[in-house]
Amino acid sequence: MNDQPKDIHSIRFLELLGSIGQTTMAFLGKTADPRTGETHRNLRLAQWHIDVLAALQEKTSGNLTDAERGFLEQTLSTLRLNYVDEAKAEAAEAAEAAEAETPDEELASPSEGDEDDAEG
């Protein structure tokens, strides 16, 4: 098979893959919103886009040029690795936030001996 896209459908397919990849990277917080310059992480939407690409990979199996197949495989691999990194980062941030919200045990609840002293 020829590795160079020759027809408009191949070109549009590669553009579609690139567009979904860029959108997913934005949902992973890897690229900034061009309107605001800020990054935001939305792992649920990132996973949905990765799943769409995986569905395209399955449904187009055997019908792609080497270049199309390679680009799709590379895009999925890159997105999946970045998703794992961001999921780990989000979990670590959540753990840190939970730890910061949890007061020290000594301050949160009096010891049993303190309760007895208070009563009587």
Q: Which two tokens stand for residue 37?
A: 């310059």
Domain map of the chain by residue range? 8-119
Q: Which residue type does 64 have?
A: L
What is the C-alpha to C-alpha distance for residues 8 and 83, in angstroms, rounded to an integer? Answer: 31
Phi, psi of 100 (to 5 degrees): -70, -30
Each residue's pLDDT tens digit, 15-46:
999 999 999 999 999 999 878 899 999 999 99
pLDDT of 114 strictly over 70: no
Give the pLDDT of residue 33.
Answer: 81
pTM: 0.76
Q: How confident is the model at residue 87 (pLDDT cuts 50, 70, 90)?
A: very high
Give the pLDDT of residue 112.
Answer: 55
What is the C-alpha to C-alpha distance for residues 14 and 22, in angstroms, rounded to an integer? Answer: 12
